[in-house]
Structure 1
Amino acid sequence: MNQWINVGDVMNMLSRIIKKRLLFGMSIVFISIGLSAIMTYVVMPLKFSSSTRLIAEIPESGDGNSGVSNVNFNLQMINTYKDIITKSNTVSNETYKRLRKSGEFKGTAADIKAMIRFNQEAESQMFSISATAENAYDAREIANMVAIVFQEQAAKVGTIAKVSVLEEAQLNIEPVSPKHTVMLLIGMIAGMILALVVAFILEVSDQRVTSINEVETIFSVPVIGTINLMSSEELSKKPIFANFDETLRKKKHRRRKRQRERL
């Protein structure tokens, strides 16, 4: 027999769980946000980025057949430049040597290779070289030096296209990562999900009957009355059965006395 899930019952159950464990869930959310804040503001280092823009172009030939063929050739050359910059060690090694001589960089050639990114603009002969580092000055110097070294390497390999720098990298003191707002939002969402999961697990594992509705659901009978739970102090102040025997004895004695009087 097919069993259909009642969405209303599910929503009611979730609502009941949230109301019952609201403080517990809020504590988990706040803890998650706090951990995200610690990771964002204390543990994760700030990173800065600078980029330089370049253009690849072929000198005009005198036959008048430049046009689309030259543009396509430039686009192919840009893909070659991307491989030279990001995959080959030539540019990163030479950049490292020059920066070490100037004493402005304390990392390695592998660090430089990991820092630089090649970004090609869609359907354009322009491209950019960006560098991301924990120091804004390092990011600017690396981006500019990589552009210079790449121009020299492109000339050495005998490419026809001419590479020119359109814009040098500028100092950017605004960090690009971590994104504080995004990280805190992720922490809040993760905390909410974790709180719901933990609350649901606790609710499912709790076998105690805590409401009249649960009694009626489990036993399929209506509840006609309830007895409130009394503390030991309330029981000591208001004894229910402490004088029951004495009261019963007095009643019997009065009844016997009345019967004798009638006789």
Structure 2
Amino acid sequence: MEETISLKEIFEVLKKRLLLIVLLIVGAAGISAVISFFILTPTYQSSTQFIVNQDTSESESVDLNQIRSNVEIINTYNDIITSNRILDQVVEEMNLTISAGALGGKISLNTSQNSQVVTLTATDYDPAVAADIANTTVEIFQEELPGLMNVNNVNVLSEAVVPANPQPVNPKPMLNIAIAIVIGAMVGVGLAFLFEYLDNTIKTEQDVEDKLELPILGVVSHIEEKDMMSLGQPVSINQKAERGSVSGQKKKTV
């Protein structure tokens, strides 16, 4: 027989485990905040732009085919910029303590479709170092390009600068906390239904009929220990029964 669950039962389960869900949400948000604000090191980005154009030393007129060719060759330039030949010189020029491969992981290149402008973005824990990496990489690339491809068609459009109040790009505490809250809520709800599914204790008369398939013969009032003492004196059986009938005690199923 297929078991179904109603919305009322769902709300009852969530209400029953509300404290667990709230604690998980608060705990996840707190852990995320501590990690984001006090453990993770902020990273900064700085960008420079250069433009790939026709070689003015050979032609003074703008040729559309030449522009299209420049756009296509940008991919080759991107590979050259991130090559060890360029990055090794950047490491040596800036006296960096990282390898060329590690430096390549700090650099990203981006260009819009059909655009001759290339944006080079450098990432580092120090905003000033990020700007220096971006500018030095493009500068060395410009110097090496004529010897590599016998062309000189790269000009710097804008250099990387350090703003007065640099803002880190990572971590993003508010985003991390929001994600942690969602994850905490999902885990809390999941655990609430898991605990409810694993709970096979009998609590009501209906549970007896559903799980044990036995008829209900009757119920006996449950007398708590505090009801058996009155001012430190034992209570008679008649008094116990009277207290049990008046105070609306819990019931035990038999």
Task: Give the TM-score normalised by the residue count of structure 2.
Answer: 0.80
Q: Distance in 2 between matches of 1:224 and 1:159?
A: 100
Instruction: State the partner residue of 1:37.
Output: 33
1:143 matched to 2:134? yes
Q: Distance in 2 between matches of 1:165 and 1:228?
A: 89
Structure 2 residues not aligned, in runs of 5+ = 242-254
Q: Match for 2:111: what amino acid?
A: Q
Superposition deviation, residue 131 in structure 1 = 0.4
- In structure 2, relative to structure 1, the CA distance for the partners of 1:30 and 1:187 (3 Å cut) is same
Q: Distance in 1 between matches of 2:168 and 2:187?
A: 30
Q: Could you tell me which of 146, 155, 169 is aligned with 1:176?
A: 169
- Structure 1 stretch displaced more, 132-141 or 214-223: 214-223
- In structure 2, relative to structure 1, the CA distance for the partners of 1:205 and 1:178 (3 Å cut) is same
Once the two structures are superposed, residues 154-181 of structure 1 have per-residue CA deviations (whole angstroms, 9 ceiling, x without a partner) of 1221243600000000114110001111
**Cα RMSD (Å):** 3.0
Instruction: State the partner residue of 1:198.
Output: 191
Q: Distance in 2 between matches of 1:20 and 1:219?
A: 24
Q: Distance in 1 between matches of 2:140 and 2:28?
A: 46
- Structure 1 stretch displaced more, 219-228 or 176-185: 219-228
Once the two structures are superposed, residues 118-156 of structure 1 have per-residue CA deviations (whole angstroms, 9 ceiling, x without a partner) of 111222000111100011111011011011011112122
Instruction: State the partner residue of 1:188.
Output: 181
Once the two structures are superposed, residues 86-126 of structure 1 have per-residue CA deviations (whole angstroms, 9 ceiling, x without a partner) of 3x1111100011001xxxx4434333211111111222000
Instruction: State the partner residue of 2:147.
Output: 156
Superposition deviation, residue 243 in structure 1 = 9.7
Superposition deviation, residue 240 in structure 1 = 3.1
Q: Distance in 1 between matches of 2:115 and 2:228?
A: 88
Structure 1 residues not aligned, in runs of 5+ = 245-263
The structure whose residues are more often helix, as a share, is: 1
Q: Could you tell me which of 69, 72, 84 is aligned with 1:89?
A: 84
Instruction: State the partner residue of 2:247.
Output: none
Once the two structures are superposed, residues 163-213 of structure 1 have per-residue CA deviations (whole angstroms, 9 ceiling, x without a partner) of 000000011411000111110011111111111121121111111133566
Instruction: State the partner residue of 1:59.
Output: 55
Asked if structure 2 preserves the Cα contact closer than 8 Å seen for 1:47 and 1:133, the reply is yes
Once the two structures are superposed, residues 26-85 of structure 1 have per-residue CA deviations (whole angstroms, 9 ceiling, x without a partner) of 111111111111211122110000000110011366597821x21221112100011112
Secondary structure of the structure 2 residue equivalent to 1:157: helix
- In structure 2, relative to structure 1, the CA distance for the partners of 1:143 and 1:179 (3 Å cut) is same
Structure exhibiting the larger radius of gyration computed from Cα positions:
1
Q: Distance in 2 between matches of 1:212 and 1:168?
A: 78
What aligned pairs does 1:19-38 form with structure 2 within 5 A after superposition?
Answer: 19-38=15-34
What aligned pairs does 1:183-262 form with structure 2 within 5 A after superposition?
Answer: 183-211=176-204, 214=207, 217-218=210-211, 229-237=222-230, 239-240=236-237
Q: Match for 2:141: what amino acid?
A: F
Task: Give the TM-score normalised by the residue count of structure 1.
Answer: 0.78
- In structure 2, relative to structure 1, the CA distance for the partners of 1:75 and 1:62 (3 Å cut) is closer
Percent of aligned positions with the same letter in both sequences?
A: 25
